[in-house]
Amino acid sequence: MKIEQIYKVFDEYRGLSDSKLRPTEPKSEQFLKAFRELLDKKNNWPFLLPLRLALEACTHCGTCAEACPVYIGSGRNKLYSPVYRADMLRKIYKRYFTLTGKVFGSLVGAKEVTEQDINAMAEAAYRCTICRRCVLACPFGLDNGLVMREMRKIFAELGIIPEELKEEGVDNQLRYGSAPKISYEALMNILDFVRGEIEENRKNVSIEIPVDKVGAKYLIINNAGDYLSFLDTIRGIVEVMNYVNVDWTFNSPRTGVFDNVNYGLFYSDKDMLRVIRAHLETINKLKPEYVVIGECGHAYDVLGHLMKDLIPAEERPFKVIHIVELYDKFLREGKLKLDKHKNAEPVTFHDSCKIGRCGGIYDEPRRVIVASCRDFREMYPNREYNYCCGGGGGFALMSKYNFLDFRMKTYGRLKMQQVKDTAASTLITICANCKRQFLDMVSYYNLNINVSGLSEVLANALVY
Amino acid sequence: MDEYFTIFIGIYLPYITLVVFIVAVIYNFFKWIFLPRPIMWAIFPAKKSLANILFTIATRIFSLPGPRKFDKLIFTLAWMFHVGLIVSLTLHAKYIFIPHLPYEYEVGTIAGMLAAIGSVGFIIRRYVDKRADSYFADYFALILLIITLSLGQYIRMFRVVESTHLWTWVQGILTLNPIPPPVNTLFLIHIVFAQIYMIYLPFKTLIHPIAIFYGQKIILDQRHFKG
């Protein structure tokens, strides 16, 4: 669709379709009702404290803007400053939910909500990947990224959710076992192909790919998108697991959900919990000791962290780790014999927000990369200060209208410069959404760089 | 100045101010406690023990790592403003115990100037900076403070009021045996503005030094509460 045809409500881009946003339909009553429910202790206990802190204690110092990759990448467009976007909701909060706002109105920054405000906020909520880098800048630890996520939750109650996340994401996953609707037969064909490919490349190596094995030590659940778009990563996982010869398994749609994603994280606690419950049901059928999250960031955030405070311990009798933690364990146990000269080209590593800043995994991938690559180059800034690539918050899946331009001209522009500065020929990342964003960047900017997962890099360095 | 007005602002208003200030501060501190403990929502690297979390919060309050990394100007202004203000307030609080301190004049003058420069810097920055919108309430607190600080600085530098009289006035209020304040127009205006500021603080500006404990704890605490 041409840009001129797009009903602009916030900036020059659109991430939500007209059928979802319904820009001409009055929504203010529903909006205020959903907002009121969001501020209720029972409805929103997990996030109420950080939300209210962010709404009430921000001093508008603007320091957070300098940490925001979309603000910097856009050439410092005020619309993308975290404090500006969060203030859109803050003004309404003050007007309807605080005494000072009701009494003093605009003197304290309170504002009556309008239909234009609501449309603009719905789009603004999808201009932030919720990478949470801005939190590092705030002297008080306030989270304007969380405010964006809470805004998305309000709009989810109004049915305003990108189709890519809801219908093509969560709904498909719960109905078919994976967001891309991969059938059992298709999955088996893919895995057969992977087996054949490895055996052809590694002569005299016999490959087994256990599927749906009950009681295995490690149940590896991948981002199902990897089976379609990043098969090298699947090949890498299979090869490494065969190499170390441990008790492991993948799972299939026959056991329930075999896709580790949880797009509910990006717009609704209710849908996030629905997916967590579906994951639990599947995992508890297979009874593994460890659930290993394949190369995916937000899945690790949900199952590795958030689930622990949402689901009682007795309902989840297993440990959750990211696959890079497993590789690091194998490495430290001496189970991997590696020749780093097999990966001779310079490589760099992107810290995915959900795995690093929100997940705490920084050293493990670096140890594995240093052991398997000859020339590892850090990008700067890195670790908790690393810039989001722009694929987070569900953005990697969203490309309708001109949304790809937004991703590329803001986050993408900044990130690609960061990668270019390393002069690496391969970029390694351990999150499928990051990989998608990087592949789009390579194509958009016509760059000569290879985007890779860690599994295939590690597998390539194995010495038989 | 009218005698009744002097008595009101020097004897009655301080009690009103103290009650409003203390109640509002207690309310602002405890209102967060009654909200449910949130989900683990840390920014890593985070901490695993409460002692570590509290120690890190304490160091962050003084070192302001975020502004120091991302915005050197606000870091500098914030340091000048807060150090100046804390020292100035401490020199006022000493009247609870004693009328004089060694080097009080020099220290107080420098502190007052630091706080005033910080406040003026904040106002200019708010006006010039386009990253965030500022509202009347944001300017009001700073303007109120600048007026109070400027008058206080003048009173201190030119020794307009006798410090022993100030001490006995503060002692009188604290022991519930109030006496009239020193009668000087500038001093009376100074304490009027100071008290308006104290009444206003808990509803606007003072929220943030309380919120810092809760906000920083959330991002530093990596403990899950369901095991």
Chain A nearest-CA residue for B217? A141
What is the Cα–Cα distance from A361 to B206, expressed in whole angstroms? 36
Flag if B38 and A384 touch (Cβ within 8 Å).
no
- In chain B, % helix, strand, coil (3-state, to 5) comes to 75, 0, 25
Residues of chain B positioned with their CB less than 8 A from the CB of A356: 44
Task: Find, in chain B, the residue whose alpha carbon is nearest to that of A61.
Answer: B132
Candidates A67, A81, A132; nearest CB to B70: A67
ipTM surpasses cut 0.85: yes
A90: left (phi over 0), alpha (psi -120 to 50) or beta: alpha
* Strands of A166-228, DSSP E: 218-221
Q: Which residues of A touch B227 (CB under 8 A)?
A: 308, 313
DSSP string, A355-409: TTTTT---HHHHHHHHHH-SEEE--SS-GGGPPP-S-GGGGGG--STTHHHHHII
Hey, what amino acid is at A95? R
Q: Is residue B182 over pLDDT 80? A: yes
Q: Which of A308-322, A341-355, B49-63, B124-138 is predicted with the least confidence, judged by mean pLDDT?
A: B124-138
Distance CA A141, CA A52 (A): 12
With pLDDT > 70 as the criterion, what percentage of chain B qualifies? 98
Whether chain A has a CB inside 8 Å of the CB on B134: the answer is: yes
Separation in Å, CA of B125 to nearest CA in chain A: 9
What count of residues does chain A have?
A: 464
Name residue A290's beta-bridge partners: A218, A319
CA-based R_g, chain B, Å:
20
Q: Which residues of A230-239 are buried (b: 16+ CB within 10 A; e: fewer)?
A: bebbbbbbbb
Query: Distance (Å) from the C-alpha of residue A461 to the closest C-alpha of chain B?
Result: 30
Kindly state the greatest CA–CA separation across chain B. Answer: 66
Report B:40-59 residues touching A (Cβ under 8 A).
40-46
Q: Which of A48, A60, A108 has the CB atom closest to B132's CB atom?
A: A60
- Neighbour tally for B57: CB within 10 Å: 19
- Rounded to whole angstroms, the Cα distance separating A132 from A143 reads 7
The token duo for A80 is 């993308």
Interchain CB distance below 8 Å, A141 and B226 = no
Specify the pTM: 0.94
Rounded to a whole number, what is the distance in Å from the CA of B216 to chain A's nearest CA?
5
- Alpha carbons within 13 A on the beta-carbon side of B9: 20
In the beta sheet, which residues pair with residue A71?
Answer: none
CB nearest B218 (choices: A50, A76, A310): A50
In tens digits, what is the pLDDT along chain A, a chain of 464 residues?
454 456 789 999 999 999 999 999 999 999 999 999 999 999 999 999 999 999 999 999 999 999 999 999 999 999 999 999 999 999 999 999 999 999 999 999 999 999 999 999 999 999 999 999 999 999 999 999 999 999 999 999 999 999 999 999 999 999 999 999 999 999 999 999 999 999 999 888 999 999 999 999 999 999 999 999 999 999 999 999 999 999 999 999 999 999 999 999 999 999 999 999 999 999 999 999 999 999 999 999 999 999 999 999 999 999 999 999 999 999 999 999 999 999 999 999 999 999 999 999 999 999 999 999 999 999 999 999 999 999 999 999 999 899 999 999 999 999 999 999 999 999 999 999 999 999 999 999 999 999 999 999 999 999 99
CB-hemisphere CA count at 13 Å for A441?
30
Beta bridge partners of A249: A219
Phi/psi of residue A69, each to 5°?
A: -65, -30
Cβ of B212 within 8 Å of Cβ of A47? The answer is: no
Q: Do B45 and A360 touch (CB under 8 A)?
A: yes
Nearest to A47 among B39, B74, B133 (CB): B39
Residue B99 touches chain A, beta carbons under 8 Å: no
Q: Does A319 touch chain B (CB under 8 A)?
A: no
B 154-213 residues inside an 8 A Cβ radius of A: 203-205, 207-208, 210-212
Q: A-chain residues within 8 Å CB-CB of B208?
A: 57, 59, 140
Task: Name the residue with tokens 């490495």.
Answer: A331
Q: Is A140 on the interface with B (CB under 8 A)?
A: yes
What is the separation of C-alpha B52 from the centre of its chain, rounded to a whole number of angstroms? 26
B81 to chain A, minimum CA–CA distance in Å?
14
**Residue A281: how many other CB atoms lie within 10 Å:** 12
